[in-house]
Amino acid sequence: MTAWRKLVVVPALACLSLAMGGPARAEGGAASEDAVKAAYLYKLRNYIEWPPRARAPGDAMTVIGIVGADEVAGQLQAMPALRDPRKAPVTVRRLRTGDALSGVHILYVGASYWTRAGPMVAQAGALAILVVSETEGALAEGSMINFRLADERIRFDIALDTAEKAGLKMSSQLLTLALSVARERKK
């Protein structure tokens, strides 16, 4: 990773922390992994453009569906900004197998659930829902953004081709922050 990218990512996380009242702290004063993932999920809506058929959130309520990651859901629900709908029109919906995805804009699939998530991920792609995961190899199986630990920090990779097939457009700012961006190879 270049020194420039480190300078971009670290202040971005600091700004997220300050903007949301500060995520939960782990030992040593550092933000917990789950709190950082929650902060990323909260901010992602600002860097994605949904197609008209998906009823883009815009100024309306953004729904983040979470399955298999109760700790991340708890961190997200605990953010002060989420408790004031005038500041952040975001709601968190905890999901289980078979739950409908209608109205969801972002689907976060925890590592403990990923092996069972195939049908849900396929449905999300068809509904233009941003799929975010935390499992190695998930980008090849339909996830669009995958969190991972790198250099003792939560980072993410992007499957741009998967997002584009679902009709989602990612901002260049988001693509710049990614550790890697997988693009479909032209033949």
32-77 tens-digit pLDDT:
899 999 999 999 989 999 988 776 565 578 899 999 999 999 999 9
Per the structure block, which two tokens stand in for 155? 């980072």
Per the structure block, which two tokens stand in for 60? 């309306």
Checking if the pLDDT of 90 tops 50, the result is yes
Checking if the pLDDT of 7 tops 80, the result is no
d(CA 152, CA 169): 29
pLDDT given at position 56: 59
Give 63's contacts (C-beta < 8 A, 6+ positions apart).
57, 90, 91, 92, 93, 103, 104, 105, 106
Per the structure block, which two tokens stand in for 163? 């997002």
**Token pair 């976060």 is at which residue?**
108
CATH number of 3-182: 3.40.50.2300
